[in-house]
Amino acid sequence: MNRRDAVAKLLAARDGALVVTGLGSPSYDVHAAGDRDDNYYLWGAMGGAALVGLGLAQAQPAKRIMVITGDGEQLMAFGALATISVAAPKNLDIIVLDNQHFGETGMQTSHTGRGIDLHSIAAACGFTQTACLRDLAEVDALCETLRQASTGPRLFVLKITAENLPRSLPPRDATFVKTRFRAHLGLSPC
């Protein structure tokens, strides 16, 4: 499936969710769907998206948190799945855009392209709900699922086409991104 179409559908149905993006293509895709103050783009933080999402879910329990990351980043943060499961936030959804390649370093085959199944691993860790989606109709159904309350963390893998799309670069100034995100939440800039 086309990743930009899938991400645009998810964001159109975000219903107030705060969004944390993984390094590279997930940030470009979220930005391409529309830059917003409630998007928190990670730069140079490979492997950090899921755990930043966990911290945000714990700090903002009344808000839904949607992490949009890639297969390479989630593979780097394999242990994060166990940590998130043990913490058991009810407001954290992780969306993994899985093209089965390391897209930012030359499109080498990733471990998911060699049989590692992230949604099954998340299920084994104790995530409340996991699934692997392969087409946009399934993303439509996922949007409805994400609107429903959960009893714990959820992880969904979207199998996307391996392609290098034009980059849509969000702000790269980490202080600016942090400050506007905090302002969106009504917090002081520091």
Global confidence as pTM: 0.93
The mean pLDDT value for 49-61 works out to 97
Most confidently predicted of 21-25, 149-153, 163-167: 149-153
Q: What is the pLDDT of residue 44?
A: 74
Segments making up each domain of the chain, as ranges: 3-184
Q: What is the pLDDT of residue 73?
A: 86
pLDDT bucket at 35, cuts 50 / 70 / 90:
very high
The mean pLDDT value for 15-20 works out to 97
The CATH number of 3-184 is 3.40.50.970
The least confident of 10-14, 43-47, 95-99 is 43-47
CA angle 163, 158, 3 (to 5 degrees): 35
The mean pLDDT value for 26-50 works out to 92
Could you report the per-residue pLDDT of 77-126, keeping only the tens digit for each?
A: 889 999 999 999 999 999 999 986 666 665 666 767 677 899 999 999 99
The set of residues, in sequence order, having a beta carbon less than 8 Å from that of 77 and lying 6+ positions away, is 47, 48, 49, 50, 51
- Predicted confidence (pLDDT) at residue 5 exceeds the cutoff of 90: yes
C-alpha 137/C-alpha 9 separation (Å) is 10
pLDDT bucket at 57, cuts 50 / 70 / 90:
very high
Q: What is the pLDDT of residue 20?
A: 98
Neighbours of 105 (CB within 10 A): 9
Distances in Å between the alpha carbon of 6 and those of 9, 50, 104? 5, 19, 19
Q: What is the pLDDT of residue 97?
A: 95
